[in-house]
Structure 1
Amino acid sequence: MPSFASWLRNNVDGILASVIAGTTAVLIVPSVLGIDLLGAGERSGAVTDVAILIVLALLAIALLRDRSSTARVRDDASAVQVVHGADLDRLHAEAYQDTDRWLFKGGIGTHLRTVTLKECVDNARAAQRPTRIQIEIIDPTDEALCTEYAQYRSSLNPGSDRHGEKWTTARVQREALATILAACWYRERFTLLRVEIALSRVMTTLRWDLSSNWIILTQDESAAPAVLFERSRPHYRAYDRELAASFEQAKRVDVALAKELRLSDEPTVDEVRTLFGTLAVTLPESFTDTDVTDIVRRALHPKDSPQRAASSQRKR
């Protein structure tokens, strides 16, 4: 909201007109009524003068009201910013440098897993800054929900995506499990990182990223523009409350249960199975060691092909 001094500076002409018109009217109106405050003893043209001054005062007031209304509209419009491509990447990069918290809600957390976690941890470690990351994604143990999400993503882009993969129930489960694994892996390597994870049984088509400075809403379709609300806006607080309420209703993953576990720089199949068993996040019975290897790839080497990751796992 603008300060009073700023408002006064922007509306000085209207205020001055109102003061002059009002003051003069106060001096002339009594003479119209027969009260001679100035001692002039004359009422010639007084009625006309008063009428003109009243009109001027009304015009000045109308001017001030119009400016106030215009300022409110401009302020409301600036509260919502539409962000595209490169600007979105820049905003994320700037936020990673100084944020002490990151709240995420979305489908499977791909960007959070592949970019946000690493950047937040690297910058927080450099600044020796405690950081809290809250993650809410769909529940990978809910097969029906994962199927619904896979169908939704397939409907956006039929066939294979830009990585050459199709959206299937198993892929959605592996992606969500990889996000959990990545969060635990980074948590183990930076003691000032506090990680909270919850699994939702409701699918969302939006991704919410909230930092210390802003909240950004993006869509699963990467070409779609994002919407940004800065921290100074009431929308920020409203969405902050929304994320808190949603997180409380989701199924919590008690990350502290894995405190005594140790994940290698390149987690083995047994380590990953033990981790999810400890967290009470049940892997699908159909998942083989190859599936678990793929989860590790998605968590820590998202740019590697499935074939390369599998080959690397066999060499160990």
Structure 2
Amino acid sequence: MERVGKFVAWVGKNADGVIALLLAVFIAFLGLTASDQILGQPKGELISGVTLLVLGLLTAAILRDRWRQEPMEETIRENFRTTSGALASLPARLDRLSELEAVVESARRVLDDLQIVQALNGADEISQAHAQARRSTDRWMFKGGTGTYVRAVTLPDLVVAARRERRALLVRLEIIDPTHAGVCEAYVRFRRSVSEAPDGTGEFWTVDRTRKESYATILAACWHRQRFSLLDIDLGLSATMTTFRWDLSADYVIITVEDPNRALMSRRGSFYYDHCATELLSSLDQARRVPIEAARSAPLSDEPTVDEARKLFEALGLGLPKSYGDRDVVEIIRKAIRAKNPYSI
């Protein structure tokens, strides 16, 4: 039934052609079989009339097809003109697309940089970030106050890891100058302005403590260098203080402030990391350099003595204040070799 329905529909759409075909068959049949008189008329006249009717139907079919084709041809021409116009404007559109892609890429980089700068909250999270930064790094740069945390935690851990893995370690430190009274006083005023309580060492900040902390960091740097030959350490002394502390490893930079529960961290490859590295190098280049290589003339024991410490600072051109007695020197040695974590509870 479905085939019959399709056939009837086809016949309806092509009725003129079907009628013309049937008449043509009918004429051929008459021409071959009919007598000379058909329906009271001569056979030739009837065949001629039917032939004209067939030709008329064929002509009507042809005209109908042309009438149907004209809108289609117009549509094709319009589509061609539209396509030609679109092709003509394609280069300009491609240029705009390239500009859009550049804008999107720029925005993506900005978003990536914003995502990479991570806020750290809480002492535990900051401590874990420092531990992650120290893990497997072969370099460290620091700029800050007296370098108490670097001396107590960072430098010993870095040396232990480098010795275990038998690889070189590059360290660059910049701390405040212990021989510069002005910067030591400014540092104490700042520390007292943000907190009157003692830190994790149980001590209050005074000018005397500030000097001893910086001296202890210098002593610790020389002590570690003499015990690990693959340690390349450079130390600069600054005449100005900063309220930030930068710790930069091969993969991370961590910026801390006096608030032990707030910090920022950024990963290598970000805009922020790269410019922090540039800042630290530029600042260290302007600082007063400590001639660490001169420490070879003043060797230190595993447990440095007072005389060894005094000779070391003399060799470095950083003679201790005349007011410092043996007890003060022992305190500096203790801070250098057995430093306490200032952020411990």
Task: Tell me the TM-score normalized by structure 2.
Answer: 0.68
Specify the alignment match of 2:23 in structure 1.
none
Specify the alignment match of 1:300 in structure 2.
337
Cα distance, 1:63 vs. partner?
9.9
Aligned pair count reads 260
User: Cα distance 1:88–1:275, how it changes in 2: closer, same or farther (>3 A)?
Assistant: same
Aligned 1:283-298 pairs, distance under 5 A: 283-298=320-335
- Structure 2 residue 308 is matched with structure 1 residue 271: yes
Report SS of the residue matched to 2:73: coil
- Compute the RMSD of aligned alpha carbons: 2.9
Report SS of the residue matched to 1:170: helix
User: Cα distance 1:226–1:254, how it changes in 2: closer, same or farther (>3 A)?
Assistant: same
User: Cα distance 1:166–1:232, how it changes in 2: closer, same or farther (>3 A)?
Assistant: same
Cα distance, 1:292 vs. partner?
0.8
Specify the alignment match of 1:198 in structure 2.
236
Specify the alignment match of 1:122 in structure 2.
160
**Which of the two has greater helix per residue?**
2
Kept in 2, the 8 Å contact 1:212–1:231? The answer is yes
Kept in 1, the 8 Å contact 2:291–2:316? The answer is yes
d(CA) in 2 for partners of 1:72 and 1:194? 35
Cα distance, 1:202 vs. partner?
0.7
Choose the corresponding residue for 2:111, options 46, 63, 74: 74
d(CA) in 2 for partners of 1:99 and 1:211? 6
d(CA) in 2 for partners of 1:70 and 1:194? 40
Choose the corresponding residue for 2:194, options 144, 156, 161: 156
d(CA) in 2 for partners of 1:229 and 1:43? 61
d(CA) in 1 for partners of 2:171 and 2:106? 40
- What are the Cα deviations for residues 169-221 of structure 1, in whole angstroms up to 9, with x where unaligned? 00000000000011111111100001101100011111111111111111122
d(CA) in 2 for partners of 1:196 and 1:92? 21
Choose the corresponding residue for 1:228, options 246, 252, 265: 265
Structure 1 residue ranges, 4+ long, deviating more than 6 angstroms after superposition: 61-67
Kept in 2, the 8 Å contact 1:216–1:227? The answer is yes
d(CA) in 1 for partners of 2:237 and 2:155? 18
Specify the alignment match of 2:281 in structure 1.
244
Cα distance, 1:94 vs. partner?
2.8
Choose the corresponding residue for 1:136, options 174, 191, 194: 174
Gaps of at least 5 residues in structure 2 are 1-70
- Structure 2 residue 132 is matched with structure 1 residue 111: no
Q: Which amino acid aligns with 2:298?
A: L
Identical columns (%): 42
Gaps of at least 5 residues in structure 1 are 1-38, 305-316
Task: Tell me the TM-score normalized by structure 1.
Answer: 0.74
d(CA) in 1 for partners of 2:213 and 2:149? 11
